[in-house]
């Protein structure tokens, strides 16, 4: 496996594009620069959700996941645009091309961010100068702003890139953490979500410095092994290498989508679940994998979220198989309250080339199981109307809605 040098004195960059979707739109159409713009799944729907926005919009209070009507109330002149994923993919490919010209040790982590290990790069004896050159190159060639964190490891580099936006460059050194990192609220620490922050606060841990000095045993009692990991991060300890091959590592493939409005309409729900299963199948085909577990996520109108899953006896990769299980989970666990978001994920994923072929004597069982599957489909069709597992015709799955999988799908492009 090609990984970055693990010796002491590593120099890691974290590149984080600023307001990426909005910035790409402004690069494509310069007349949008300086204006408050937002990218949303359904601009024509008042309840469409904001995916990202420009800094001009953010200055007016516009935030990600906010409904369009709320954003418009805060910023009446907000320009709301549909996402153009082909455009974002193209920009991302160019970004990582530029990074890869500097070093082979580039690890993309999403469409708009990635790590670089520049320890062995000739110019790295002046990392700050290299970062400035790189930032300007991305700005000049792509007309896209980015922030860069410079540190001896991935965690600190990630924290650094978040500190100055847009077009910021931040150096975090271990010997200066008591001044640069420790005074920050623990909620600002990468890897600490709202619930974890609340638990840490309940232990009297308010700042990252408090976490760095906290009792390891107490942390492990509350958070398990992750408690010790959090303390290590707070002390600037992170031994993970920059690994270009990490883009091949995945254990699940999922897709989720917010509905245009909260609903209990079973036809609309079936239509969305069919679309989600179709998207999951498409991504599994691209990666040539199959999985042995299906998980369903339901987020209700009040944002309460549940996940339910089912482990399987054999691997599956077809949308009909994925959907029949997701439908079963749905009808067993739905409370009939209005739904805001649905997600389907296939877990325990393995590349098909690594899945052992079953003995021929038993392959007939696979065909037999299909009879049960389609029998169940017929029963659900009788109960809920037109077969919900037939591909919905006429739906444009490319540009209508932003989906969580898009952030990961671009990695397939990067591997080609």
Domain annotation covers residue 243: no
pLDDT at residue 259, as a whole number: 87
- 79 is in which domain, residue-wise? 20-84
Query: Do residues 130 and 59 both lie within one domain?
Result: no
Does residue 145 surpass a pLDDT of 70? yes
pLDDT band at 399 (very low <50, low <70, confident <90, very high): very low
pLDDT of residue 144: 97
Does 240 map to a domain? no
Q: What's the rounded Cα separation, in Å, for the pair 370 and 414?
A: 36
Please state the rounded mean pLDDT for residues 157-175.
96
The pLDDT value recorded for residue 392 is 30
- How many helices (DSSP H) and strands (DSSP E) are in the chain? 15, 13
The answer to whether residues 65 and 95 belong to one domain is no
In this prediction the pTM is 0.69
> Of 58, 84, 110, which residue is a domain's last?
84
**Rounded-to-integer distance, Cα 339 and Cα 343, Å:** 11
State whether 49 and 124 are in the same domain. Answer: no
Task: Classify residue 369 as exposed, middle or buried by CB count within 10 Å of its CB (0-12, 13-18, 19+).
Answer: middle
Mean local confidence (pLDDT), 85-111:
93
Q: Say yes or no to pLDDT of 387 above 70.
A: no
pLDDT of 35 > 90? The answer is: yes
**What is the predicted pLDDT for the residue at 363?**
39
Burial 123-139 (b: 16+ CB within 10 A, else e): ebeebeebbeebbeebe
CA distance 138 to 13: 14
Per-residue pLDDT for 7 more than 60? no
CB 239 within 8 A of CB 322: no
Which band of pLDDT confidence, cut at 50, 70 and 90, is reported for residue 261? confident
Q: Which of 234, 258, 283 is the last residue of a domain?
A: 234
Q: Examine the domain organization and report whether 222 and 128 are in the same domain.
A: yes
77 and 96 co-located in one domain: no
Whether residue 267 is annotated as binding a ligand: the answer is: no
pLDDT at position 371:
47
Residues 140 and 201 both lie in one domain: yes
Q: What SS3 state is found at 150?
A: strand
What separation, in Å, do the N-terminal and C-terminal C-alpha atoms of the chain show?
Answer: 18
Q: Residue 57's domain is classified under what CATH number?
A: 3.40.1170.60
Residue 318, helix vs strand vs coil: coil
∠ CA 408-414-416, nearest 5°, is 120
- Paired with 221 in beta bridges are none
- CATH number, domain of 154, equals 3.30.70.270
Confidence of residue 396 (pLDDT cuts 50, 70, 90): very low
Mean pLDDT of 384-408: 42
Q: Which of 326, 333, 224 is nearest to 275 (CA)?
A: 326
Q: Is 244 part of a structural domain of the chain?
A: no
65 and 167 in a common domain: no
pLDDT higher than 50, residue 331: yes
In a domain, 229, yes or no: yes
Percent of the chain with pLDDT over 90: 63
Q: How confident is the model at residue 49 (pLDDT cuts 50, 70, 90)?
A: confident
Domains of the chain: total: 3
Does 341 fall in a domain?
Answer: yes
- Write the DSSP symbol of residue 114: E
Query: Do 71 and 154 have their domain in common?
Result: no
Catalytic residue among 113, 141, 206, 365: 113
Active-site residue flag, 337: no
- Asked whether residue 92 falls in the same domain as residue 229, the answer is yes
112 is in an annotated binding site: yes
Whether residues 396 and 264 share a domain: the answer is yes
CATH number at residue 327: 3.30.1490.100
Quick one: which H or E segment has residue 308?
Answer: strand 305-316
Residues 292 and 374 in one domain: yes
Same domain, 158 and 189: yes
């Amino acid at each position: 496996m090609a990984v970055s040098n693990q010796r002491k004195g590593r120099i890691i960059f974290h590149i984080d594009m600023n307001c990426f979707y909005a910035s790409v739109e402004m690069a494509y159409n310069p007349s949008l620069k300086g204006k408050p713009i937002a990218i949303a799944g359904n601009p024509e729907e008042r309840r469409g959700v904001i995916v990202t926005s420009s800094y001009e919009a953010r200055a007016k209070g516009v935030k990600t996941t906010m409904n369009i009507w709320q954003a418009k109330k805060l910023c009446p002149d907000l320009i709301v645009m549909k996402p153009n994923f082909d455009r974002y993919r193209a920009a991302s490919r160019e970004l990582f091309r530029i990074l890869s010209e500097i070093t082979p040790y580039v690890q993309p982590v999403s469409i708009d961010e990635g790590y670089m290990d520049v320890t062995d790069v000739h110019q790295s004896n002046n990392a700050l100068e290299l970062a400035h050159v790189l930032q300007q190159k991305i700005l000049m060639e792509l007309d896209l702003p980015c922030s860069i964190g410079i540190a001896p490891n991935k965690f600190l580099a990630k924290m650094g890139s978040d500190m100055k936006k847009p077009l910021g460059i931040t150096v975090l050194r271990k010997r200066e953490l008591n001044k640069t990192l420790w005074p920050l609220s623990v909620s600002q620490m990468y890897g600490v979500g709202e619930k974890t922050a609340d638990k840490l606060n309940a232990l009297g841990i308010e700042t990252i410095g408090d976490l760095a000095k906290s009792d390891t045993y107490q942390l492990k009692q509350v958070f398990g092994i992750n408690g010790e990991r959090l303390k290590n991060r707070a002390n600037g300890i992170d031994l993970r290498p920059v690994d270009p091959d990490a883009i091949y590592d995945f254990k699940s493939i999922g897709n989720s989508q917010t509905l245009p409005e909260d609903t209990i309409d079973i036809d609309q729900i079936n239509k969305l679940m069919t679309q989600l299963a179709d998207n999951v199948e498409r991504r599994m085909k691209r990666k040539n994998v199959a999985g042995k577990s299906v998980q369903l996520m339901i987020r209700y109108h009040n944002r309460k979220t549940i996940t339910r899953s089912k482990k399987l006896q054999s691997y599956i990769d077809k949308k009909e198989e994925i959907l029949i299980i997701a439908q079963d989970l749905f009808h067993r666990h739905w409370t009939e309250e209005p739904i805001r978001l649905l997600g389907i994920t296939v877990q325990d994923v393995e590349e098909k080339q690594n899945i052992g072929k079953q003995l021929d004597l038993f392959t007939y069982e696979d065909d037999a199981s299909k009879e049960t599957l389609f029998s169940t489909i017929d029963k659900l069709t009788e109960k809920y109307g037109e077969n919900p597992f037939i591909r919905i015709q006429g739906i444009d799955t490319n540009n209508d809605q932003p989906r969580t999988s898009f952030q990961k799908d671009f990695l397939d492009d990067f591997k080609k």
